[in-house]
């Protein structure tokens, strides 16, 4: 239970559309409580096209920072004063914070890629020199491709439905990255079998829990391979089941969610909150959401 906000309480918030089912308020408020800071986190539904107005509201209201989700990541990157290194490469921001070096300036950053690498670290997996296969070519795929290549992956293969979007995603990975289209079955089989890490960055398996992205069969997975599904709800996706049936290890996207959120708290407060507290809060919020929808 949160303490009541007072006149001096700092306010951070999520902007997006929709935001009603977000677990971010639970995670961030748990982090602020654990840190013992007088901060509170809420969510604002901001209509498409209103992201720049929301960034102006940060200035006008003196908000402490923003998390940014769909459909505003690109528009927010254009509305802030400057971008951090990752957000600059990706051209999108999931975080808005006040600059420490330049008071009064708002900085956009992207914490998804660093959160992804930290989630892998939790699994004892380093991408350095390894073959990474990224399923999908949207925003999450772009963050993962950038992070994996920056962290020294041996190869990054982006598998998408749309050749132009997949190539644009792979371009973020530089010389180690290439793209292929999902309906090139032979190339997909070869890439998957050679993959040390397979990342599902499509939304397939979330609202249709029985679906596997690109209909990948279990025979294309193998032991010694890690599969990370960025989906965290359901906690076990059909892709994870299929990958495990083929001998691979599989994890969902909850750790990445928690780590990207932890980095946001660090951007805003300069303090590092305990990851376990945030993970517990996220899990509790997801199970509350499940019981509400049952």
Ligand X SMILES: NC(=O)c1ccc[n+]([C@@H]2O[C@H](COP(=O)([O-])OP(=O)(O)OC[C@H]3O[C@@H](n4cnc5c(N)ncnc54)[C@H](OP(=O)(O)O)[C@@H]3O)[C@@H](O)[C@H]2O)c1
Catalytic residue check, 73: yes
Among 76, 70, 73, 71, residue whose Cα is nearest residue 58: 76
> In this structure, are residues 48 and 78 in contact, taking their beta carbons and an 8 Å threshold?
no
> In this structure, are residues 59 and 79 in contact, taking their beta carbons and an 8 Å threshold?
no
Distances (CA, A) of 281 to 1, 28, 203, 209, 265: 12, 9, 23, 23, 15
Torsions phi, psi for 13 (to 5 deg): -155, 160
The Cβ-side half-sphere exposure at 165, using a 13 Å CA radius, reads 16
Min. distance of Cβ 288 from ligand X in angstroms?
A: 18
Question: Distance (Å, rounded) from C-alpha 267 to C-alpha 264?
Answer: 5
Residues that bind ligand X (CB under 6 A): 112, 136-141, 160-162, 165, 201-204, 206, 213-214, 230-232, 253, 256-257, 260
Min. distance of Cβ 8 from ligand X in angstroms?
A: 32
Give me 276's structure tokens: 């376990």
Catalytic-labelled residue, pool 28, 72, 73, 233: 73
Name the residue number minimizing CB distance to ligand X: 138
Tell me whether residue 17 or residue 81 sits nearer to ligand X (CB atom). 17
Strand-pair partners of 133: 157, 198
Residue 282 belongs to what H/E stretch?
A: helix 275-293
Active site positions, annotated: 73
């Amino acid at each position: 239970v949160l303490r009541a906000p007072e006149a001096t309480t700092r306010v951070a918030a999520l902007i997006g559309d929709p935001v009603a089912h977000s677990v971010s308020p639970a995670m961030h408020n748990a982090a602020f409580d654990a840190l013992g800071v007088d901060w509170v986190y809420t969510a604002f539904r901001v209509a498409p096209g209103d992201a720049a107005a929301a960034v102006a509201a940060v200035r006008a209201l003196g908000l402490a920072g923003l998390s940014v989700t769909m459909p505003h990541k690109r528009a927010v990157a254009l509305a802030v004063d400057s971008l951090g290194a990752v957000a600059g490469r990706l051209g999108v921001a999931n975080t808005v914070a006040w600059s420490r070096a330049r008071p009064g300036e708002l900085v956009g950053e992207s914490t998804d890629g660093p959160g992804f690498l930290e989630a892998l670290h939790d699994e004892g997996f380093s991408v350095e020199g390894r073959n990474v296969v990224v399923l999908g070519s949207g925003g999450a795929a772009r963050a993962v491709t950038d992070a994996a290549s920056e962290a020294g992956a041996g190869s990054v293969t982006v598998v998408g439905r749309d050749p132009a979007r997949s190539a644009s995603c792979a371009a973020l990975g530089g010389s180690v990255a290439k793209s292929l289209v999902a309906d090139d079955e032979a190339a997909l089989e070869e890439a998957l079998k050679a993959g040390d890490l397979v990342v599902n960055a499509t939304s397939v398996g979330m609202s249709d829990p029985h679906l596997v992205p690109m209909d990948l069969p279990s025979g294309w997975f193998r032991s010694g391979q890690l599969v990370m599904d960025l989906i965290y709800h359901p906690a076990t996706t059909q892709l994870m089941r299929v990958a495990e049936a083929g001998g691979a290890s599989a994890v969902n996207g909850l750790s990445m969610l928690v780590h990207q959120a932890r980095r946001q708290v660090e951007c805003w407060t300069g303090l590092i909150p305990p990851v376990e507290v945030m993970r517990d809060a996220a899990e509790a919020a997801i199970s509350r959401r499940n019981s509400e929808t049952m």
